[in-house]
Chains A and B, each alone.
Chain A
Amino acid sequence: GESVGLHLPTLSVQEGDNSIINCAYSNSASDYFIWYKQESGKGPQFIIDIRSNMDKRQGQRVTVLLNKTVKHLSLQIAATQPGDSAVYFCAETATYSGAGSYQLTFGKGTKLSVIP
């Protein structure tokens, strides 16, 4: 089946540097993408989303880039802080399975470690 995957399972960055987390997806019908952050012992937390009619979206210290041509998604974190240490997931959906319900397919996750 089609799936969402990540290039790098772990990423270590120096505090203050920028981080880039990548995600490849294979379902060409996917039209909505979300990045989640999961800290140890907690549930995934919404960071930022992007629809397929956009190729870039910015939030506070985070930017998501979408390249539909190569089916690639990335999350950029500016001035990475120790509090950014977590597992990051990309998620995608192309299925609308009923009124108000849709199914998110998650990638494998990348663990980001920030070195003080």
Chain B
Amino acid sequence: DTAVSQTPKYLVTQMGNDKSIKCEQNLGHDTMYWYKQDSKKFLKIMFSYNNKELIINETVPNRFSPKSPDKAHLNLHINSLELGDSAVYFCASSQVFRSGYTFGSGTRLTVV
């Protein structure tokens, strides 16, 4: 049983395209997150949703739009992809305050 699952695992696309990454958690957690990991392994938060409500929205281009249809899903849609969007994107979830995150296995996005 995968606790936090992301699809696809790899995504190669051309500049200017629109793509989506899906995330689902079966842990019953109330909060879900998107993190971006760059080529130097630095992890930076992008968004946080709690019970389908946007809580954190860091300085992220508005080409990135998260969507949470229910508290078990948090998808990331990216419009007009740019070369600099190439990175690994991680979805994570947490339950109660300060209990640690559970991460998905990541989606490696390559924009060519």
B106 A103 Cβ-Cβ under 8 A: no
Binding-face segment, A18-26, A77-85, A94-102: A94-102
A109 B42 Cβ-Cβ under 8 A: yes
Closest to A32 in B: B98
Question: CA A90 – CA B37 in complex, angstroms?
Answer: 15
Partner of B98, one of A87, A102, A105, A108: A102
**Cβ-based interface call for B95 (8 A):** yes
Question: CA A94 – CA B73 in complex, angstroms?
Answer: 26
Q: Write out, one digit per residue, whether chain A residues 41-52 have a CB within 8 A of any chain B CB (1) or not (0).
A: 111111001010
**Cβ-based interface call for B51 (8 A):** yes
Specify the main secondary structure of chain A where it touches its partner.
strand
Partner of A43, one of B31, B45, B55, B106: B106
**Cβ-based interface call for A74 (8 A):** no
Most buried by A among B41, B90, B92, B96: B41
Q: Which residues of A contact B110 (CB under 8 A)?
A: none
**Cβ-based interface call for B100 (8 A):** yes
Q: On chain A, which size bracket covers the interface?
A: 20 to 34
A106 B43 Cβ-Cβ under 8 A: yes
Question: CA A101 – CA B59 in complex, angstroms?
Answer: 18
**Cβ-based interface call for A112 (8 A):** no
Question: CA A80 – CA B39 in complex, angstroms?
Answer: 27
Question: CA A100 – CA B95 in complex, angstroms?
Answer: 7
Question: CA A43 – CA B31 in complex, angstroms?
Answer: 17
Question: CA A10 – CA B96 in complex, angstroms?
Answer: 33
Question: CA A96 – CA B56 in complex, angstroms?
Answer: 11
Within 8 A of A (CB), among B30-56: 30-31, 40-45, 48-51, 53, 55-56
Q: How far is the CB of A1 from chain B (nearest CB, A)?
A: 11
Q: Which residues of A contact B56 (CB under 8 A)?
A: 97-98, 101, 103
Q: Write out, one digit per residue, whether chain B residues 52-94 have a CB within 8 A of any chain A CB (1) or not (0).
A: 0101100000000000000000000000000000000010101
